[in-house]
Amino acid sequence: MKKISLFILGIALTGLFQQCAVSRQISEAKTLGDCKYAIASADNITLAGIDVRQFRNMQDFDLAKSPRLALALLSQDVPLNLRLNLDVTNPTKQQAGINQFEYKVFLSENEVFTGFWDQRIDVQPNGGTTRVPMQLSTNAYRLLTDAKARDAFVNMVENLSGKAGSQPSKLTIKLRPTLGIGNSQINYPGYITIEKEVTAKMLAGE
C-alpha cells in the first residue's frame, strides 16, 4: 500500500512539475513579445555562391560580368545565404526566453526566408541583451524574376553589399515560439512581429 501511495505521489509531482514548466515557458515567451529588437548587422552574405559585396557597383546584376549568377538563373537555383544578427533587449522585470521558434522573413510583403530555430535563447530582465545569429537561406530565383518582387530584392542586396546611397529596405520578421510539453511541441498562438529597416551600414566589418 505504501509503494502504491508513493507511486501516485510521484505521478502527481511529475504532473505538477510539468505544469510549472509549461507555465514558465508561457511566461518567458510572453515576455519575449515585450522585448525590443534591432538588426545589429548582417554577414557571411552570398548570392549564388558569390560574396554579395561584388554586386556593390553592378547595375541591375550585369550577367555578362557574373557568369556564375547567369548559370544559377538558367538552372532556376539562386541560393541566397546570410547571417542576420538580431539583438533582443528585455526592458521588463521578468525573464524572457524560448527553446525554439518558427520564423518567417518578409521583404515588402514577399516571403523571403522561412525556417526553424532550435537553440535556447535567454534574455535577462532589466535591460539584458542577447544576440541571436539567425542563419538564413533561400532560393532567390523567384525574387529576381518576379517583376513585383525584383526591385525590392535588388535594393535589399545593394544594402547588404554596403552600396552607398541605397534606399533602406523594410524587413518584417515574424517569430512564433514553440512550447515543449512532454514529448509534444505546441505552437504559441500568434506571432511576434518585428519590422526593421536594412541599410548599407549594417554590413559587418564595414
- Tell me the per-residue pLDDT of 86-114, one tens digit each, with 9 for 90 and over: 999 999 999 998 888 899 999 888 899 99
* Nearest partner of 45 among 206, 161, 156, judged by Cα: 161
Domain region containing 87? 1-202
Whole-number percent of the chain with pLDDT over 70: 78
pTM (2 d.p.): 0.77
Confidence of residue 77 (pLDDT cuts 50, 70, 90): very high
**How far is 143 from 152, CA to CA, in rounded Å?**
9
